Structure 1
Amino acid sequence: MGTIQARIEGRVGEAASGDDIVYTTTHMQDAYDHGLRAVIMTMPERAWKFFGKNRVDFLPLVGTPLLTNKIISVLRRDGTYYRACVMIDADMAGPAADSRSIHYASAFTPVCWVESGSFSNPMLKVLPEDGSKAARLVSLAIPTVDVTTDTIVPHFPDELEELPEIYTAAWIKQREAGYLRRSSQDELEAITSSGYLAAFEGDLPVFTPPTEPNMPSLTLVSMTTLPSLVLEAVPVFTDLDLTGITAPSAVLIYESAGAEPEDTLSVGTSLPTYTGPVFTYDQTTTILDALSSAKDMVDNSGIGGSTDVETLLAADLLDQARVGIDAANVELRRAQTAIQDEQAQLQDFSERLKEALGKFTGEANVYQADLAKEVATASADVQAYVAKMQDNKNVLDKQISQYNTDVQNYSAKVRAVTQEWQLEEVSFKLAKWAAQIQSATAAYSAQAGAYIQEYAQKNQALLGEYNAAVGAVIREYQALVQERIGEFQSNLSRATSRLQEAGVRLQTMQSFDQKSLAALR
C-alpha cells in the first residue's frame, strides 16, 4: 500500500510542488490534519475513544479550560486511586460543596461540572477540593500522522480511510482554483497594462487629410434684357341680360311641435350614500419594531455584540448563540401577539362592513325602483313629441318639393339665354383676339431664340475652360491623399502587429485556464 501522500497525489492528478498546481507537502500535511480532525469530530464515542488519550491534571476548584467535547473521563485522586467523577449541572455546585446537603460530593463520590464563559473557553471544575492537582481530565488525542511516510491512521476505521484524503484533495483543488483565478488575473493585467494593448492604442494612427485645394472661380456672361412682347388687349364683352326671366320665390315654414318634454327627472327618493367603517392598523409599529429587534438579536447574538448567531454556531459557541436565539424568540412572540390583535380587529371590521353594505344595498334598490318609474314617464313624453315633429316635417317636405320644381324651370330658361349670348358675343370676339395673339408671339419667339443661342455659346466656352482648371486641381489633391493613405496604412499595420501579440498571450492564457479547469473536473 502506498503512502497517504501518494494516494492524495493520485486523486489530485499531480505531485506536490508540480508545475500546474502550486501546493507543497506542508500544505498537504496541514489540510490532512484538518480533515482528519473534522472526520473524528463527527464520529460516535465508540469509534474515537480508542485513538489515544490526553491527560491533564489540575486543581479541582480552579479548573481547566475545556478545549474539546471529546471527553473520555473526568477523575479525582483519592489517596493512591483515581475515582470517576459524576457530571452535574453547574447550578448544583453549591449543594455539592455543602457537607450538610444530601448532594455533598465526598472523596469517594466526586463530581464535576462545566462553567460557561462569555468570551473564553468553558472551564471544567471538580469537587471536593484538596489543595493539590488531584483532578484529571482524560480527553481524546488526535492521532499524529505523517502523510509522506505513513500509509494508515492508527486505530482508524478502514471504511473511513478515504474521507481525510478526499478532504485534502478538495482543499488542494480549492487552492488550485484560487491560483488559477490569480494567474488569469495576472495574465490579463499583463496584457492590458504591460504594454501590448497600450502600445497598440499608442500606435493607432490618426488619418489627417491634406489641406483642401483652392478651386478656381467661374464668371459667366450676364443675361441682358430680352426684347419686350406687346399683346392685344382682351376684348370687351356686352353684359348678359336675364331681366326677362322671373326667379321663383320660396316660402318654407316649419311649425313648432310645442313645448319640449322636461329634460330633468324628479325622483322622490335620494341616491343613498355609503357610509361604512374605516379600519386602522393599530399594531403596525409594534410588529415592525418586534421584527426589527428580532433581526438585531440574531445579527448581534442578543448580547449587544457584533457577531451574528450563524457565525457563533459555526464556531461551536452554542451558549452565546443560544442567548441570541432566545432573545430573538421573545421578540418574535411579541410580534405574533400584535399580529393576532390585528387579526381580531380585522374580524370585527369585516362584520361591521357587511352590516353597512346590507343597509346600502336596500336603500339603493328603493332608489332604482323610483328612478325606473320616472324614466318610463319621460320616455312616453318624448315619443309623443317626436310624432308631432314628424307630422310637421311631412308638410315641410311637400313645400320643398314644389320649390325644387320651380327652380328647375328657372334654370332651363337661364341656360337657353346664356347659350345664345355665348355664341353671338363671346365666341366671335375671342376667336379674333386669339389670332392676333398667335401672330405676335410667333414673331417674339424667333427674336428671343436667336438671342438665347448667342448667350449659350459664350457661356459654354467659359465652362470648358473652368472644367479643365478644376480637373488639374483635383488630380493634384488626389495624389496628396494617396500619399497620406499610404502613411496611414503603414502605421495601422504596426498597430495591428501589437494587437496580434496581445492575442497570442491571451490564447496562451486561455489554454492554461482550460487545462486547469479540466484538472479541476
Structure 2
Amino acid sequence: MATIQARIEGRVGEAASGDDIVFTTTQMQDAYDHGLRAVIATMPEKAWKYFGRNRIDFLPLVGTPLLTGKIVSVLRRNGTYYRPCTMIDADMAGPAADSRSIHYASGFTPVYYVESGSFSNPMLKVLPEDGSKAARLVSLAIPTVDITTDTIVPHFPDELEELPEIYVVIWIKQREMGVARRSSQDELEAITSSGYLAAFESDLPTFVPPKAPSISTLTLPSVPSSVLAYTSAGDEPDDTITMTTSLPTYTGPVFTYDQSTISDALTQAKDMMDNSGLGSTDVEAIITAKHLDEARVGMEAIKTELTRAQTSIQDERAQLQEFVEKIREALGKFTGEATVYQAELAKEVAEARADVQAYTAKMQDNRNILDKDIAQYREDLNKYQRQSTALINEFAQKSTATVAEYQALVQEVVGEFQSKLSKASARLQEAQIRLQTMQSFDQKSIAALNEAKMFQAEFDKKLGEYKTQLVKDAKFCPECGGKV
C-alpha cells in the first residue's frame, strides 16, 4: 500500500516542493496532524476507546495546565482508589471548598473546574485540595503518524481514513490559492511600483507638428452680374370678357291641353250608339227592331253628347289660339334682347383682340432687348472663366510646392515621434505581460479555491455519512457520546 504522503500527492497531482505548489514534507506532516486531530474531535466520545490515553498526575492544590480539550476523565485518589470528579463552574470553587456548604466536595464526591488564565493556558484544579499528587488528568492521545512511511492510522476507522488526507489536500489547495494570490499581487506591485507605468508616462512623447506654412489667398475677378435688364410689357390683357348685359333667357307661356270632357262625350255617344247606353238595348239594336220612336230618343241623346264634345273642342281651340299669340309675343321679346346682347358681345371681343395684339407686340420688343443682354452676359461670363482659370492654375502650382515641402517636414517629425512612441509602447508591453501573468495567477488561485471547495464538500460528506452510519449501527448519540 502506498504511504499517506504518496496518496496525498496523488490527490494533489504534484509532489512536495513542486513547481506550482510550494509546500514541504514538514508542512504536509503538520497539516496531517492537525487534520487528524480535527477529525477525531468530531468523533463521539465512545469512539475514543480505540485510541490511547495520556495520563498526568498533579497536585490538586496546584492544578495542571490544560493543554487539550479532549478530557476523557479527571480522577482524585481517595485512599487506594481513584474516584471520578464532577465538573463544576469555576465560580462554584468557593462553596465546593467550604465544609459548611451543601456544595462541599468531599473525598467521595470530588469535583474539578477550569480556571482561565489571562496570559497562559487554563489551569485544571481539583477539590478537595491535597498536598500529594492525588489528582490525575486522563486525556485523549492523538495517534502519532509519519506520513512519509506509514500507510494507515492505527485503530482509526476505515470510513474516516481518507478524511485527514483530504484535510491536507484542502490545506494545500488553500496554500496554492494563497501563493498564487501573492504572486498575482507581486506582479501588480511590479507594474505599479517598479516604474513600468511611470517610465511609460515619461517616455510617452508629445506630438508637436511643425508650423503650417502660410499660403497666399486666391483672389478671383468679380463675377459678371447675372441680373438682366428686362422691361415688363405692362399689365396682361384681361383673360375674361365683361358684359354689361346678361344673356337673355326665353320665358314663354305653358299650354295644358284638357281632353277629358271631349273624351267623355265621345265615349258616351259611342256607347249609346252600339252598346246598352239607353237600357238593355243600344240605338243600333232598336233601329234593327224597327222601334223608331225609341230610336229617335236615343239619337237625340247621342246628338247631345256630340254637341257637348264639339263645344269642348271649340273651347280648347280658342285657348290654343290665345297660347300661340302669347308665344309670338315672348319670342319677339327674346329675339330683341338677343340682338342687343350679340352686338355688345361683338364689341367686347373686338376690344379684347386689340389688347392682345398690342401686348404681344410689346412682348416681342422686350424679348429682342433681352436676347441682346443675354448675348452680352455670355461673352462676359466666358471672359471671367478664362481669367479665373489662369489665376487658379497659378495658385495651385504655388500651393502644391508649399504643401509638398510642409509634408516632408511633417513626415520627419512623425518619424521621430513614432520612434519615441515605440520606446514607450515597449514599456507598456512589459506592463501588459506582467498583467497577463497576474491574471494567470488569479485564474490559478480561483481554480485552487474551487478545488478546495470540492474537497471540503467531500470531507463534509464522508464525515456526515460516518456519523449517520454510526448512529444507525452502534446507536450512538453524537450529542451525548453514548448509546441511545
**TM-score bucket (shorter structure):** 0.5 to 0.7
Q: Distance in 1 between matches of 2:194 and 2:350?
A: 103
Normalising by structure 2, we get a TM-score of 0.57
Against the structure 1 CA distance between its residues 228 and 45, is the aligned structure 2 distance closer, same or farther, given a 3 Å change threshold?
Answer: closer
Q: How many angstroms does 1:23 deviate by?
A: 1.8
Against the structure 1 CA distance between its residues 114 and 462, is the aligned structure 2 distance closer, same or farther, given a 3 Å change threshold?
Answer: same
Specify the alignment match of 2:70 in structure 1: 70
Report the secondary structure of 2:21's partner residue: coil
Instruction: Give a deviation string over 1:292-323, Cα, whole Å, max 9, x none.
Output: xxxxxxxxxxxxxxxxxxxxxxxxxxxxxxxx
Specify the alignment match of 2:141 in structure 1: 141
Q: How many angstroms does 1:197 deviate by?
A: 5.1
Normalising by structure 1, we get a TM-score of 0.54
Against the structure 1 CA distance between its residues 430 and 499, is the aligned structure 2 distance closer, same or farther, given a 3 Å change threshold?
Answer: same
Specify the alignment match of 2:480 in structure 1: none
**Amino acid across the alignment from 2:220:** L
**Amino acid across the alignment from 2:360:** A
Whether 1:166 aligns to 2:95 is no
Specify the alignment match of 1:112 in structure 2: 111
From 358, 378, 388, the equivalent of 1:429 is: 358
Specify the alignment match of 1:210 in structure 2: 210
Q: Distance in 2 between matches of 1:235 and 1:195?
A: 91
The percentage of counterpart residues that share the same residue type is 62
Q: How many angstroms does 1:52 deviate by?
A: 2.0
Contact 2:59 2:134 survives alignment (8 Å): yes
Specify the alignment match of 1:34 in structure 2: 34
Specify the alignment match of 1:481 in structure 2: 410
**Amino acid across the alignment from 2:110:** V
From 443, 448, 457, the equivalent of 2:386 is: 457
Taking the TM superposition and a 5 Å limit, the aligned residue runs for 1:384-399 are none
Contact 2:85 2:112 survives alignment (8 Å): no
Q: Distance in 2 between matches of 1:200 and 1:220?
A: 52
Q: How many angstroms does 1:435 deviate by?
A: 1.9
Q: Distance in 2 between matches of 1:199 and 1:518?
A: 34
Greater Cα offset, 129-138 or 180-189: 129-138
Q: Distance in 1 between matches of 2:174 and 2:443?
A: 16
Against the structure 1 CA distance between its residues 96 and 436, is the aligned structure 2 distance closer, same or farther, given a 3 Å change threshold?
Answer: closer
Bigger Rg over Cα: 2
Against the structure 1 CA distance between its residues 513 and 417, is the aligned structure 2 distance closer, same or farther, given a 3 Å change threshold?
Answer: farther
**Amino acid across the alignment from 1:143:** P
Q: Distance in 2 between matches of 1:64 and 1:19?
A: 46
**Amino acid across the alignment from 1:59:** P
Aligned length: 351
Larger RCO, structure (CA 8 Å, separation 6 or more):
2
Q: Distance in 2 between matches of 1:91 and 1:236?
A: 130
Q: Distance in 1 between matches of 2:228 and 2:156?
A: 128
Against the structure 1 CA distance between its residues 441 and 156, is the aligned structure 2 distance closer, same or farther, given a 3 Å change threshold?
Answer: closer
Q: Distance in 2 between matches of 1:67 and 1:14?
A: 35
Against the structure 1 CA distance between its residues 480 and 128, is the aligned structure 2 distance closer, same or farther, given a 3 Å change threshold?
Answer: closer
Q: How many angstroms does 1:36 deviate by?
A: 1.6
Specify the alignment match of 1:22 in structure 2: 22
Contact 1:20 1:516 survives alignment (8 Å): no
**Amino acid across the alignment from 1:44:** P
Q: How many angstroms does 1:35 deviate by?
A: 1.1
Contact 2:209 2:410 survives alignment (8 Å): yes
Report the secondary structure of 1:83's partner residue: strand
Q: How many angstroms does 1:179 deviate by?
A: 0.2
Against the structure 1 CA distance between its residues 88 and 479, is the aligned structure 2 distance closer, same or farther, given a 3 Å change threshold?
Answer: closer
**Amino acid across the alignment from 1:21:** I
Taking the TM superposition and a 5 Å limit, the aligned residue runs for 1:57-96 are 57-59=58-60, 68-85=68-85
Against the structure 1 CA distance between its residues 448 and 204, is the aligned structure 2 distance closer, same or farther, given a 3 Å change threshold?
Answer: same
Q: Distance in 2 between matches of 1:51 and 1:183?
A: 43
Contact 1:77 1:134 survives alignment (8 Å): yes
Contact 2:236 2:359 survives alignment (8 Å): no
**Amino acid across the alignment from 2:396:** N
Q: Distance in 2 between matches of 1:54 and 1:417?
A: 154
Taking the TM superposition and a 5 Å limit, the aligned residue runs for 1:171-190 are 171-190=171-190
Q: How many angstroms does 1:484 deviate by?
A: 2.9
Instruction: Give a deviation string over 1:147-203, Cα, whole Å, max 9, x none.
Output: 455555454345433322221222122111100111122124334553555545544
**Amino acid across the alignment from 2:59:** F
Specify the alignment match of 1:371 in structure 2: none
Contact 1:75 1:137 survives alignment (8 Å): yes
Report the secondary structure of 2:52's partner residue: coil
Q: How many angstroms does 1:37 deviate by?
A: 1.2
Instruction: Give a deviation string over 1:200-234, Cα, whole Å, max 9, x none.
Output: 55444444332211112333334688999474762
Against the structure 1 CA distance between its residues 56 and 491, is the aligned structure 2 distance closer, same or farther, given a 3 Å change threshold?
Answer: same
Contact 1:52 1:143 survives alignment (8 Å): no
Report the secondary structure of 2:139's partner residue: strand
Which ranges of structure 2 fall in alignment gaps of 5 or more residues? 248-340, 452-484
Whether 1:471 aligns to 2:400 is yes
Q: Distance in 1 between matches of 2:209 and 2:347?
A: 78
Q: Distance in 2 between matches of 1:509 and 1:74?
A: 55
Contact 1:70 1:139 survives alignment (8 Å): yes
Q: Distance in 1 between matches of 2:6 and 2:346?
A: 130
